[in-house]
Structure 1
Amino acid sequence: MEFNIFIVEDDQPLFEALQTGLEAWAFRVTKPDDFNEVMRSFLDQEPHLVIMDITLPKFDGFHWCREIRSVSEVPIIFLSSRDHPLDMVMALNMGADDFIQKPFHTNVLYAKVQAILRRTYAYGETQADTLEWNGALIDLKRGVIRKSAEEADLTKNELFLLISLVKSNNSVISRHDLI
């Protein structure tokens, strides 16, 4: 599985350095098309992890973290030169998974990215590669659902929702639990 890392960083040389390093680790790297439209780009890209600066044009990283958290539980790592403990606490309380202060060692960032992705996507509640439901087979590794001769690819969000619904055993799942 190729993981998509969405980097929200307005410092172009830093973005390019992160992109080069992450691509060397076989990650796909994307960024917002426009810093006024971070959320639209996030929804279009469907990343597996977000790396975000706090100080950005128009809206800050805290704003975008809130927006992302309103629709997704994708892991978020803040990467910022802010060094006040309150900024770190605020980032983590808003839903960030980690806060790395600039300047930083790139190998530490890459190790944290790998650890978060491993915990989030490899050690999930399901140990099986497939789930079966009403005659349909859901391939969890490939993100595909098959029934009879038909097969459909699922987005990351569709797969998450489908797994949640199948595991609910016909119980109601609240919007809050899905987010």
Structure 2
Amino acid sequence: MSILALIACAFIYSKEVQVKELSKQLFDEKGVSSHLRNEKHHEWERAETFQQEIIAHKQEIADLKATFKNSNDDGDFGKVIHWTNQMATSQTYYLTFVVDPNGRKIMNDFENRFKRSLFTNDERETCRRIGQSEVFDFISNRISNAQSPNYSEQLEIAYLTGQLESNYD
């Protein structure tokens, strides 16, 4: 009988140890679950904050667009120009590098930097200078094109969009 009681006590003790281990595992899992829930909650709060910031930025952009669209303000360089096309036409080059005083400064700086003696004893340096000069020449040609009495921005746009074949360059 005492042997049976000893076996029963050992069995009860082993079950008690198992219960304690399972209880500890459950407590640990609850802690992890609680931590994950807190992280998830913080992520939702951050997402909501970002969503509100996005809405505020979209409103700010819409306000700026409306302000620009409705602007009839005269700036330092004349009337505000509302571009109806997104193409860089010869007229765009003319307005940027001739009409705008800062554009003229930039064009003069380009000329001083890139319109110099092209040929040197070093072939690579000569090629580099020719490439730099081509950019300046391209801009100058576009400006000259815009100043031509026969120039039409609508015709140039039609050519650039492929609606017309011409010799514009």
TM-score when normalising by structure 1: 0.21
Q: Which has the higher helix share?
A: 2
Q: Which has the larger radius of gyration?
A: 2
Q: Which has the higher strand share?
A: 1
